[in-house]
Every structure is written in C-alpha cells, then in structure tokens.
Amino acid sequence: MTSRTRWGILATGGIAGTFVDDLALLPDAEIVAVGSRTLEAAQRFAGRYEIPRAHGSWADLAADPEVDVVYVATPHSAHHAASRLCLEAGKAVLCEKPFTLDLATSQDLITLAGDRGLFLMEAMWMRTIPAIRRIAELVADGSIGEVTAVYADFGIGGEFDASHRLRDPALGGGALLDLGVYPVTFAHLFLGPPQRIAALASLTPEGVDDNTGVIFGYDSGAIATLHCGIVGRSPTAATIVGDAGRIELPSPFFRPDRFTLYRDRQAEVVHVPIRGNGMGYEAEEVMRCLVDGKLESPLAPWSATLDVMRSLDAVRAQIGVDYENTGRISR
C-alpha cells in the first residue's frame, strides 16, 4: 500500500455516492477507480465524482493494480458474488450491509478472507459512529448498570410498487434486511446474540416482509424489542435500559449526534458531533486496520457479522421469507 489508501467503488447507486462524498473528506483516502456492470454507468459516476478510472465490469475493477480496497455497494443480492470476486483478486473489501443474504454465504466470504489473508468488513457504519462508540463505552463501564432491555425501530413510508427493490425478492427485498439489520445490530451491540427469537410479520404478494416485529430473549433475563417496516415512518429511535439508568437515542438512532443519559432521576444530554453523512468513520476504520495489518476490525468483527446474520436467518425462517424461492411465500 501507498501512504494513501486507494479505494475502488463497486456499483454506482445512491449509497455509493454518499460514501464517496464522505470518503472525499478524508486526507488519507484516494478514490482511484469505479466499476459497474456497464462502462457507461461507470463513466457517468466517474465524471460526477472526478474519479480517474472507470471500469465496465466488476472483474476489471477487481483486477485494477492501483486499488487497495474495494467498497461493494451493489443491491443485497449481489454482495456475496461481488465481494467474492474482489477477494479472489486479492483485494481488501468493505461490503455494504446486510453482508449477504444468509449465514452460509457470509461464512463463505469470511472463510475466504481468512484463507487469503485479506481484510474484510461489513459496512455497518453504525458501529463506527462516535456517539455509538461513546454509548458502548458508557454501557461497558456500568454507567446504567446491567442492561435489561433494548428498544429500536426503523420504519419508512412511501409508495413502493412491486418493481421497487424493497419489494423485489430477487434483490433481497423486504424491510428486515434493508432496515431491520440496524435494530438487530443495535441489540447485538449491547446484549450480544440472543438465546431465543420470536418474530411476526406481514408479507407482500411478492413474498418479502413489509412490517416486522421481533423479540429477542437472553439468558440474563434481558429482552430486546425491535421493529422494521416499509409501511409508515416510525420514530427510528432507540433506548437502552439498565437497572441503574437508561440511554435514549433520537432519530436516526444509527447515526446520532447526541443522546440522553438518565441516572438518579437526572438527565444529561451528551453531544457528539458527526462529520459529513457519517460514513467516513467506517472508511477510517478500514484504513486504520489496513495500516495495522489486521484482517478484521475490532469494531465490526467477523463474529458479530455472523451473529447478526444468524439472527436474521432465524427471523426470516419464522416469518416465511425465502429468497431461494423468489416470488413465492414459503409458509
């Protein structure tokens, strides 16, 4: 690697643009190439963001000798194939969440990265947001005592017709993988993997979930109550309850710039500034790990990615969402 980390961007959708905007704020980052399924799309993106090279295929981007790490920003259903291609080409990878569609394919990528000695990280940027890291420190230090409950929700509203990616099972559609991954990850941050899972959902005619409720149970007695949906805008807030206090996060809880700590009937608002859109922190973490020669990030370790995917698989099994039988409800 050079003194600056050289990034390649795989895919040209909205999330890729947001990531590039934040990456441009980092002095140690250099965006050197973008790849798409068509050269025209790659060239348009490259022109918009002043990226030197545009590749008309994922394989060409993965083979680019000037790229140190690839950010994979495809639809969910292509995360596994795109990330595997880059790893096989010897590239470090930051892959958007959800990491893949299921536990088996997530494990496949992690096994491959380990075998090849390559860095790999799920782009769960919430784990790297400064306020979230500060909250994790407070909880770990016992500031609210033992955690007894976690509440988190993420719901959006809009006109999503049958062709929209959120309703398309071929693209890994549904509320759970697109939005629910945030509440599930949030619960994991403070309670770890659950021992019991109960879930209910309503499904679209295409066979993906549009309104899902989940309860996680833990041997400690703690409970996590989680919700995600595409049928109406929810508070998108979160609370961590302990036996000696609680912490409340405003909307959007996954990239807060403040939170409220309640202890001894006292409320303290803690402000933690956030830079840009908030996605630059995960990029900083990737670059720090690459410089240090790490294969995985302690903020977003492989074990956590697998824990969350295992929980998502269990929820999907209960609510009857089966991506292997696209367009058919399995229940």
When pLDDT is cut at 50, 70 and 90, the band that residue 159 belongs to is confident
The residue type found at 65 is P
pLDDT of residue 2: 55
When pLDDT is cut at 50, 70 and 90, the band that residue 324 belongs to is confident
pLDDT of residue 328: 37
When pLDDT is cut at 50, 70 and 90, the band that residue 229 belongs to is very high
**Looking at the chain, how many residues does it have?**
331
Taken in order of first residue, the domains within the chain and their CATH numbers are 5-123 (3.40.50.720), 127-278+308-325 (3.30.360.10)
Pairing of strands 209-217, 196-203: antiparallel
Which tens digit of pLDDT belongs to each residue from 37-85? 999 999 999 999 999 999 999 999 999 999 999 999 999 999 999 999 9
Which tens digit of pLDDT belongs to each residue from 240-296? 999 999 999 999 999 999 999 999 989 999 999 999 999 999 999 999 999 999 999
When pLDDT is cut at 50, 70 and 90, the band that residue 123 belongs to is very high
Lowest mean pLDDT among 28-32, 105-109, 322-326: 322-326
Contact 98, 76 (CB under 8 A): yes
Q: Which of 97, 167, 188, 246 is catalytic?
A: 97
Cα–Cα distance measured from residue 83 to residue 267, given in angstroms and rounded to the nearest whole number? 44
pLDDT at 329 over 60: no
When pLDDT is cut at 50, 70 and 90, the band that residue 331 belongs to is very low
Active-site residue 91, yes or no?
no
Per the prediction, the chain carries an average pLDDT of 96
Element (H, E) at 283: helix 280-292
Tell me which residue of 303, 288, 273 sits closest to 99, measured CA to CA.
303
pLDDT of residue 330: 32
- What is the three-class DSSP state of 54? strand
Lowest mean pLDDT among 1-5, 95-99, 220-224: 1-5
pLDDT of residue 8: 98
pLDDT of residue 327: 43
The partner residues of 214 in beta bridges, in order of sequence, read 199, 226
CA dist list (Å): 239 to 96, 235, 242, 253, 259:
25, 12, 10, 9, 10
pLDDT of residue 235: 97
Which tens digit of pLDDT belongs to each residue from 295-323? 999 999 999 999 999 999 999 999 999 99
CA dist list (Å): 71 to 64, 91, 189, 208, 301:
14, 10, 23, 27, 17
Residue 330 — φ and ψ, nearest 5°? -105, 95
Across 217-243, average pLDDT: 98
What is the DSSP annotation of 235-283?
---EEEEETTEEEEE-SSTTS-SEEEEEETTEEEEEE----TTSTHHHH
pLDDT of residue 325: 65
Residue 307 — φ and ψ, nearest 5°? -60, -45
**C-alpha triplet 310, 82, 294: angle, nearest 5°:** 70
pTM exceeding 0.85: yes
pLDDT at 163 over 70: yes
- Peptide bond preceding 273: is omega within 30 degrees of 0, i.e. cis? no
What is the DSSP annotation of 152-193?
EEEE--S---TTSGGG-GGGT-SHIIIIIHHHHHHHHHHH-S
